[in-house]
Amino acid sequence: MRELALDDVEALAVGAWILGTGGGGSPYLGLLNMRRLYAVGHRVSLMSPLDLADEDWVAVVSNMGAPLVGQERFADSRNIARAVEIQQGLLGAKFRAVMPLEIGGGNGIQPLMAAAHLGFPVVDADTMGRAYPEAQMTSVAVGDLRPYPCVLYDPRGIEAVVTKVPSWRWMERVSRKICVELGSIASTCKAPRTGREVKDWGIHFTVTKAIGIGRCVRQAQRHQEDPVEAILDEGHGKLIFRGKVIDVARRTTEGFLRGRALIEGLDEDRGSQLDVAFQNEWVVAWRDKAPIAMSPELICVLDTVSGEAFGTETIGYGRRVSVVVLPAPSVFLTPKGLDHVGPRAFGYDLDFRSVFDQGRVS
């Protein structure tokens, strides 16, 4: 157990935005919340998932919805705390800790906001190792753990609970419909997990990983070094393209942000184009119409100068970008994991092929 300094939180915001692969929502508003909470005396501690007792209960939190809407409805730390309180009441037992559903973007900050109000530590783990758009795209779903109950909370005071569903896909369908009615964004506390389940099926030490990536970027910026190279070194990643964004098409539909970004090559990639499709997160990238990168590996579109991530809701025409790929958690590279998060899970008729098995991408 260690107390997170505000500098850790600042680094987490940078690193989680990169690991979010375009989704999870911008961490900026959540970071403003945390700066204010720390200014008035709140503190948050981080604990190892391996220190949980098997019988402990852990709250799993996230915002649900379309990232673009999150730019319009400002984050409020009391909303995610209230979702945890509702779930704790349903559970009839006290939570030991809180953890992120996904380490990506603003959802990497959500558990810190809840923890600051409720006095819980944050578990150094999540269930995605990045961000994904749907409820069944988690390690706990791959493990066939129980998908219910799920609490959704709205700042107007609307409280909704999905008490029982037959499968994770039904949880996605039902909770998404509620989320759309709430304006395509809601604070959620997912099905509670035991300490044993977190130890067996959580993706461990991802908060620390995000903080480490964020620190490398911030250090490179301070020393006028290449932050993209720092990310590749820290994240064991691979650069696949450099260029300029020449077109973005996106729409908010059914609680998701969907679309594509077209990038024209620069430097050694001049003369080629990269087309990247997204559903909240970057999902598949085609170079000159040939697929070269795809989920579950992490496609990260970064500002070439600052190294900071672009979200699918913030990417825009004229941006100079470097596209890198980071390795996927091993649970998603199994046949069952690929059924949940591989390219076919998003509707693309592609067999998964790893960037790291292809040699130099050209």
Q: What is the pLDDT of residue 362?
A: 32
Helical axes 206-222 vs 6-19, angle rounded to 10°: 100
Rounded to 5 degrees, φ, ψ at 331 are: -60, -30
pTM of the model: 0.95
User: Does residue 326 register a pLDDT over 80?
Assistant: yes
* Cα 207 to Cα 194: distance, rounded to the nearest angstrom: 19
Residue pLDDT, tens place only, 64-88:
987 766 667 777 899 999 999 999 9
Structure tokens of 319? 């941006």
Instruction: Encode 88-153 in three state secondary structure.
Output: HHHHCCCCCEEEECCCCHHHHCHHHHHHHHHCCCEECEECCCCCCCCCCCCHHHHCCCCCCCEEEE
User: Is 11 strand, coil or helix?
Assistant: helix
Residue pLDDT, tens place only, 237-285:
999 999 999 999 999 887 788 999 999 999 999 999 999 999 999 999 9
- Alpha-carbon torsion angle 204, 205, 206, 212, nearest 10: -160
Would you place residue 200 in the very low, low, confident or very high pLDDT band (cuts 50, 70, 90)? very high
> Could you tell me how many helices (H) and strands (E) the chain has, helices first?
11, 18
* Cα 149 to Cα 135: distance, rounded to the nearest angstrom: 12
Q: Which residue has the tokens 């758009």?
A: 133
Q: What is the pLDDT of residue 321?
A: 98
* Cα 339 to Cα 296: distance, rounded to the nearest angstrom: 10
